[in-house]
């Protein structure tokens, strides 16, 4: 396999509105991020994926872009952006911009023009039809909005304030490519491409994802914007199978570096109610899915590894234990992920094991997906009761990940001097960065150790490139796998339960590299007769 610099990189996602507010307006901002670069450098990360900071009416927190080449005043200005890029670079940290290319805001000048009349030159930048069809919006309700002025419907896969761009129009591709190249010239290190599987769709045939024009469009984009540059690109692809992932990330095809797949992330969703009614956690199924992805590529693709992002509930609350075993289970999930082949992504707050939140009132939530889905499922279809829906919100709503970052135990968790745009998780008094930095056994330092291990001379190649083999596939509480590279063998072993688990594995430990519970005497580990404590996780070399 051809080694690439981003194979061994670790990415940290910043959701700017909730990260750090320097101005006191209750919204995080770019100077706030700059003030935390030392903190991120200390963690050991190489890249920041910056969720959108462009000019936006914030109907979907910046995923509704009104101008791709301007910074929203809530976040600062273009000088701040240049500062962020430069100051991050001084710490060997690259910035990945979030490209939302499936849709714009309805406040984008292209759409404002497009709505004017049917013969406006920008009309074909968007998708207009005389008749709507049955395609639904991902946020609930139909994917069509009627415009009474020009008497046609426009298409939107997300909110009606997020009209889909018409990628059939070559002018759209050209404008977007120019914009991307402009960002490359600003010195960014790469891009995350939002719902990229939705471009190239054929809505009249009912095809919204993985459409026939998707890969040709990405190949054109690669030639125009990425080729020959030191850049990393990751696509968000909810519908990817390993075969589809190779179409994007096989280096010979010259499209993207890697994609996020979501097969594991939707494992516990209900067949009818989706994320709003989750099913029991099934470790055997999780192991099956992740192992399939671990063994799918042989240089013809690359994994992006993640438990969390701004759309998903907190892993420690979802499949870990956010009570008694919060720290142990957070470290366990970190170990499992960073032990795998691929490029790991950490979502802000994950490194201190921030948890889901439970607000009493629907009004305390902000996310448009929550609001629209409530409207559809509780008020219109009546398929879920208010109580059932709130349980779903507590388990899987996106706002679980979006409560402000918990920096310390002062007022507003040190996030802002003003009134935060979204309520804090009240547990910030206990769970915060200052406390984590003060405790050498904190989850933060466990992440730091994992990152350092991946970058070490001795074990880095095995962790990044080693082959993967699942052990104990049917075990319902233990996740164990081997990594092997040029004669070196690492065992990653984790008890994903609150009960001790006794195992006998026919291997001999050479050295324990990392143990989330840090037992006193590491030499005693005997795999033929081992009892793992609740949520204990180990990485060791095998003799």
Residues in the site for ligand TEU, rule: CB under 6 A? Answer: 60, 63, 100, 138, 158, 194-195, 236, 238, 275, 310-311, 369, 398
Catalytic residue list contains 194: yes
Backbone angles phi, psi at 384, to 5 degrees: -135, 145
The strand pairing partners of 347, in sequence order, are 13
Active-site pick, 72, 80, 194, 322: 194
Catalytic residue list contains 520: no
Among candidates 234, 239, 243, which has minimal Cα distance to 197? 239
CB of 138 to ligand TEU, least distance (A): 5
Question: What is the C-alpha separation between 159 and 65, in angstroms, rounded?
Answer: 12
Nearer to ligand TEU, 347 or 535 (CB): 347
Q: Which two tokens stand for residue 60?
A: 């979907």
Q: Which residue has the tokens 């960073």?
A: 338
Q: What's the helix, strand, coil split of the chain in %, to 5?
A: 35, 20, 45
Residue count (the chain):
543
Nearer to ligand TEU, 60 or 106 (CB): 60
Active-site pick, 98, 164, 236, 351: 236
Nearer to ligand TEU, 276 or 325 (CB): 276
Strands 232-236 and 258-260: parallel
DSSP code at position 142: B
Question: What is the C-alpha separation between 35 and 414, in angstroms, rounded?
Answer: 12
Nearer to ligand TEU, 158 or 359 (CB): 158
Q: What angle do CA 131, 132, 137 make, to 5 degrees?
A: 165
CB of 311 to ligand TEU, least distance (A): 4
Helix (H) or strand (E) holding 185: helix 170-185
Nearer to ligand TEU, 63 or 144 (CB): 63
Q: Which two tokens stand for residue 375?
A: 């409207």
**Spatial CB neighbours of 396, under 8 Å, sequence gap ≥ 6:** 269, 275, 276, 278, 312, 313, 318
CB of 367 to ligand TEU, least distance (A): 8
Helices and strands, number each (H, E), in the chain: 15, 22
The strand pairing partners of 542, in sequence order, are 509
3-state secondary structure 373-421: HHHHHHHHCCCCCHHHHHHHHHHHCHHHHCCCCCCCCCHHHHCCCCCCC
Centre a 10 Å sphere on the Cβ of residue 529 and count the other Cβ atoms it contains: 10
**Spatial CB neighbours of 423, under 8 Å, sequence gap ≥ 6:** 357, 359, 364, 403
From the number of C-beta atoms within 10 Å of its C-beta (0-12, 13-18, 19+), residue 377 rates as buried
Q: Which two tokens stand for residue 102?
A: 């499936």
Nearer to ligand TEU, 110 or 158 (CB): 158
Nearer to ligand TEU, 162 or 341 (CB): 162
Query: Is residue 330 within 8 Å of residue 337, measured between CB atoms?
Result: no
CB of 63 to ligand TEU, least distance (A): 3
> Which residue's Cβ lies closest to ligand TEU?
63
CB of 158 to ligand TEU, least distance (A): 4
Strands 190-193 and 232-236: parallel
CB of 153 to ligand TEU, least distance (A): 20
CB of 359 to ligand TEU, least distance (A): 18
Whole-angstrom CA distances from 187 to 9, 180, 191, 473 are 18, 11, 12, 45
CB of 253 to ligand TEU, least distance (A): 23
Nearer to ligand TEU, 26 or 163 (CB): 163
Nearer to ligand TEU, 53 or 332 (CB): 53
Strands 54-55 and 343-347: unpaired
Residues acting as catalytic residues = 194, 236
């Amino acid at each position: 396999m051809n080694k690439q610099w981003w194979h061994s990189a670790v990415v940290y996602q910043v959701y700017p509105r909730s990260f750090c507010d320097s101005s006191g307006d209750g919204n995080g901002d770019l100077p706030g991020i700059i003030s935390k670069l030392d903190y991120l450098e200390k963690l050991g990360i190489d890249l920041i994926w910056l969720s959108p900071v462009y000019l936006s009416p914030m109907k979907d927190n910046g995923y509704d872009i009104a101008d791709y080449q301007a910074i929203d005043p809530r976040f600062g200005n273009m000088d701040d952006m240049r500062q962020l890029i430069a100051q991050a670079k001084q710490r060997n940290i690259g910035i990945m911009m979030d490209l939302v290319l499936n849709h714009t805001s309805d406040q984008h000048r292209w759409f404002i023009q497009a709505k004017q009349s049917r013969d406006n030159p920008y009309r074909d930048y968007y998708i207009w039809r005389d008749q709507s069809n049955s395609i639904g919006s991902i946020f609930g309700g139909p994917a069509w909005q009627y415009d009474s002025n020009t008497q046609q419907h426009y298409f939107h896969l997300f909110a009606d304030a997020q009209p889909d761009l018409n990628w059939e129009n070559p002018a759209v591709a050209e404008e977007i490519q120019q914009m991307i190249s402009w960002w490359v010239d600003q010195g960014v290190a790469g891009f995350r491409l939002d719902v990229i599987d939705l471009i190239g769709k054929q809505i009249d045939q009912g095809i919204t994802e993985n459409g026939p024009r998707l890969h040709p469009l990405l190949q054109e984009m690669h030639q125009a914007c990425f080729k020959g540059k030191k850049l990393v690109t990751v696509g968000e692809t909810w519908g990817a199978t390993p075969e589809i992932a190779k179409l994007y990330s096989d280096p010979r095809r010259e499209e993207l570096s890697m994609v996020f797949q979501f097969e594991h992330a939707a494992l516990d969703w209900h067949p009818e109610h989706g994320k709003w009614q989750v099913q029991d956690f099934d470790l055997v199924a999780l192991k099956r899915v992740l192992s399939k992805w671990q063994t799918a590529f042989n240089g013809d693709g690359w994994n992006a590894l993640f438990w969390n992002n701004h759309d998903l509930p907190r892993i420690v609350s979802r499949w870990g234990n956010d009570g008694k075993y919060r720290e142990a289970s957070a470290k366990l999930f970190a170990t499992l992920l960073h032990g795998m082949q691929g490029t790991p992504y950490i979502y802000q707050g994950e490194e201190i094991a921030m948890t889901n939140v439970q607000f009493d009132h629907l009004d305390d939530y902000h996310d448009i997906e929550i609001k629209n889905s409530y409207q559809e499922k509780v008020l219109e279809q009546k398929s879920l009761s208010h109580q059932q829906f709130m349980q779903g919100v507590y388990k899987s709503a996106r706002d679980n990940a979006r409560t402000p970052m918990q920096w310390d135990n002062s007022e507003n968790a040190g996030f802002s001097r003003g009134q935060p745009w979204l309520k804090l998780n009240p547990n910030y008094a206990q769970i915060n960065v200052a406390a984590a930095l003060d405790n050498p056994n904190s989850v933060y330092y466990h992440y730091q150790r994992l990152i350092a291990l991946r970058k070490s001379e001795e074990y880095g190649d095995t962790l990044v490139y080693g082959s993967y083999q699942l052990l104990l596939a049917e075990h319902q509480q233990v996740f164990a796998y081997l990594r092997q590279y040029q004669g070196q063998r690492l065992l990653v072993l984790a008890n994903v339960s609150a009960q001790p688990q006794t195992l006998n594995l026919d291997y001999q430990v050479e050295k324990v590299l990392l143990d989330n519970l840090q037992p006193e005497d590491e030499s005693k580990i005997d795999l033929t007769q081992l009892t793992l404590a609740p949520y204990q996780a180990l990485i060791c070399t095998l003799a």
